[in-house]
Amino acid sequence: MLDSNTLYVKDENGKEVAMEILFTFANEEMGKQYVVFVDPNDDSGEVFASCYDDEGNLLPIESESEWEMVEEVLGAFNEEEL
């Protein structure tokens, strides 16, 4: 489980960038945990998502069906926030 509301990712130049976690969720069907996050210094509104393991390591989302599921969860999250 990711404990704080900040995580660090490396950008294309290898520099660590602090990201703000919007929420985490688990999908039992896929047996994976996901994190949805944004760059608090980027006003574009771009949202990122990734899988993560029990040690908090970020893993890529690899399939189209996983992306569709994440987008559905994000849509539900956005509706709740409005």
Query: What is the domain extent for residue 27?
Result: 6-81
**Among 69, 54, 58, CA closest to 21:** 58
Residue 38 lies in a domain: yes
Q: What is the pTM of this model?
A: 0.86
Q: 1 pLDDT exceeds 60? A: no
Q: Could you read off the pLDDT of 10-62 as tens digits, one per residue?
A: 888 999 999 999 999 999 998 999 999 999 999 998 999 999 999 989 999 99
Residue 61 lies in a domain: yes
Instruction: Report the distance separating Cα 19 and Cα 78, nearest Å.
Output: 18
**Count: domains in the chain:** 1
Backbone angles phi, psi at 8, to 5 degrees: -115, 130
Q: What is the mean pLDDT of residues 2-17?
A: 86
Residue 1 lies in a domain: no
